[in-house]
Amino acid sequence: MIRPQHLNEGDTIGIVAPSGPVQREKLERALPFFEGLGLHVKLGKHVFRGYGYLAGTDAERLEDFHEMIADPEVKAVICARGGYGAGRIVPHLDFELIRTNPKIIWGYSDITYLHTAIRQQTGLVTFHGPMPASDIAKEQFDDLSAQMFRQLFQPADLVYSEKIAPLYANCSAPAEGELVGGNLSLLVSTLGTPYEIETAGKILLLEDIGEEPYRVDGMLNQLKLAGKLSGVAGIAIGDFSGGEPSKDPSLLLNDVFDHYLYQLNVPVLSGFRIGHCLPHFAVPLGTRAILSGAEKQLKIKAGVC
């Protein structure tokens, strides 16, 4: 495991767009937030390029990402938004460059593909958290979500408890392991590839948006049949907003979770405000974590050194 170096006031962060196209107005609206943290911002050359449903061609998005990793002035790489496209550049990533220049890499949603591939190929801890154009630019961006960026400035363990939101536990037993995962549909898309999510002995975080119960059912069934649920140490279920069923009759999401997850012989906690939601509790991926059903909390070791 490689922890990236923490940030200091006065550092420069780089913003790139590995996935969908970025609206200039939204991204520029978010920049004062980082300036308020005492950081300087450097934008990728192609961040506003746009190429259909992508933020640029594969070569352009890859170039921006590699340049930020290689730039000694840049101490963190923040993804502007999700959408689609990160998986297209993963086979061309220079993992040796990333390993020898370990930096904070931050984002979620489609960025789950980057998190998974980079962690498994390099051992680098990355961060699942709200992004500038899709979250920080919103008027509803809240204090808790904003405070989560503070974990980047000094090593500090995180504790998620019911002080934030109610949690449901299937048992009182604890689970300990490396925290991995992220967006469910992106994790499923790694199956059968060289970057297939590794879950054995891990605490698996799952979240998604706009996926109806039958769709979540299909994806969890695929994870199950691929053997990705049988060896987990525990499961943390994040936010699944916008998944109201349109089919009549339908099962509810909780029925789906009960069938695939709550019946597993491992601790499962649900209700975490992690994912496409506000507040959005940002977490490091690749560090040790303890999931406790009795205490109804998730403890996570610091992601920076």
Q: What is the set of active-site residues?
A: 109, 207, 276
CA distance 216 to 211: 6
10: tokens are 């006065």
- Give the residue ranges of DSSP H helices in 112-245: 112-122, 143-147, 184-189, 213-225
Which residue's structure tokens are 């403890």? 299
Q: Do 297 and 165 touch, CB atoms closer than 8 A?
A: no
CA distance 127 to 8: 17
Closest CA to 135 of 5, 58, 239: 239
Q: Do 213 and 251 touch, CB atoms closer than 8 A?
A: yes
- E-only strand ranges, the chain: 12-16, 40-43, 74-79, 104-107, 126-128, 158-160, 168-169, 174-183, 203-207, 234-237, 268-270, 283-285, 288-292, 297-300
Q: Do 217 and 240 touch, CB atoms closer than 8 A?
A: no
CA distance 213 to 210: 10
